[in-house]
Amino acid sequence: DAGITQSPRHKVTETGTPVTLRCHQTENHRYMYWYRQDPGHGLRLIHYSYGVKDTDKGEVSDGYSVSRSKTEDFLLTLESATSSQTSVYFCAIRELADTDTQYFGPGTRLTVL
């Protein structure tokens, strides 16, 4: 599982409230990613980080912000949650050695009422 945890694993919130999801890794990987997964859309990249305080936008970044103040933690914030942000959110780390691929956390199911 590449030492990735996500918290919370499930959350129900109301429209307009702020929400922060946390991704934590234990293996000192430089690259971390946030995706959302919705039926019929596969995984869509929200934001990613290539180092502490270094982040970049993905294809569906509107309405989301991220922060990375230390290597092991990558936070995803919904400043004012909307029902369209109801989704399953996956965090991933990118392992540069060997396969240069991504390994995913267990996911967070977020419901915005």
> For residue 106, what are the contacts with CB-CB under 8 A and spacing of at least 6?
1, 4, 5, 6, 9
Residue 66 CB-half CA count within 13 A: 28
**19/46 with CB nearer another protein:** 46
Q: Which of residues 10-69 bind another protein (CB under 8 A)?
A: 31, 33, 35, 40-45, 48, 50, 56, 58-59
Q: Does 103 bind another protein (CB under 8 A)?
A: yes
Distance CA 58, CA 64 (A): 10
CA 52 from centroid of its chain's CA atoms = 15
CB of 50 to another protein, least distance (A): 6
Using the rule CB under 8 A, which residue among 90, 93, 110, 112 binds another protein?
Answer: 90
Residue 31 token pair: 């690259």
**10/41 with CB nearer another protein:** 41
Asked if 64 contacts 55 with a C-beta cutoff of 8 angstroms, the reply is no
CB of 104 to another protein, least distance (A): 4
Binding residues (CB under 8 A) for another protein: these are 31, 33, 35, 40-45, 48, 50, 56, 58-59, 90, 94, 99-107
